[in-house]
Amino acid sequence: MKIKLKFLILVLFFVSTTTFAQKFITKNGYVRFFSATSMENIDGKNKQVSCALDATTGDFVFKLLEKSFEFERALMQEHFNENYVESDKFPEATFKGKVLNIKDVNFSKPGVYKVTVEGDLTLHGVSQKIKTEGTIETKGEKINAKSKFVIKLKDYKISIPKAVADKISENMEITVDVNLDKINK
């Protein structure tokens, strides 16, 4: 009886520490959105992105403040916040989803693994399902997750005034590049 109890305690300890050791986080991830037209490029960069990945379940989330996007010109930043994403009304953008093939990633072996991510992207108060390809690079206690995908502004109820329609594309290319650290407690 004592041997079974000790074995059960040992198994529970191993499972709980293994599960806990498979979580990665960051508070300074990077998200970029880019739009190109013949008249002008719109390029916003945000380096204050919070992100978490549970390597056991594949749960993947990120959150950012819209006002943290930086632009080459102050007027672009003002228009972005006031006229398009309305960041006073909708201050955050979020993604909640899963890495569908998380079992294909060997977190104990350094390498680059192709992944498929699916979930809900919420922007401008509107949530849309997205599915995209990306990579997870494992580096011991750290990982890097990257993806690039395109969204349509109209899907998020972001309208482009006719006066500037030739300067802003209806599609935005989104780049996600986050370096996450393993949680150790």
User: How many folded domains does the chain comprise?
Assistant: 1
Average pLDDT, the chain: 87
Q: How confident is the model at residue 85 (pLDDT cuts 50, 70, 90)?
A: confident
Give domain status of residue 6, yes or no: no
Alpha carbon of 121 to those of 4, 35, 82, 97, 127: distances in Å? Answer: 47, 18, 21, 8, 5
pLDDT tens column, 150-174: 999 999 998 877 777 677 788 999 9
Tell me the CATH number at 94: 2.40.128.110
What is the tens place of the pLDDT at every residue in 3-35?
Answer: 544 443 434 444 444 444 489 999 999 999 998
- Residue 14's pLDDT is 43
For residue 185, name the pLDDT band (cuts at 50, 70, 90).
low
89 pLDDT higher than 50: yes
Contact 73, 41 (CB under 8 A): no
In a domain, residue 17? The reply is no
In a domain? residue 135: yes
Domain interval for residue 54: 23-182
What confidence tens digit (pLDDT) does each residue in 50-79 have? 999 999 999 999 999 999 999 988 988 888
5 falls within a domain: no
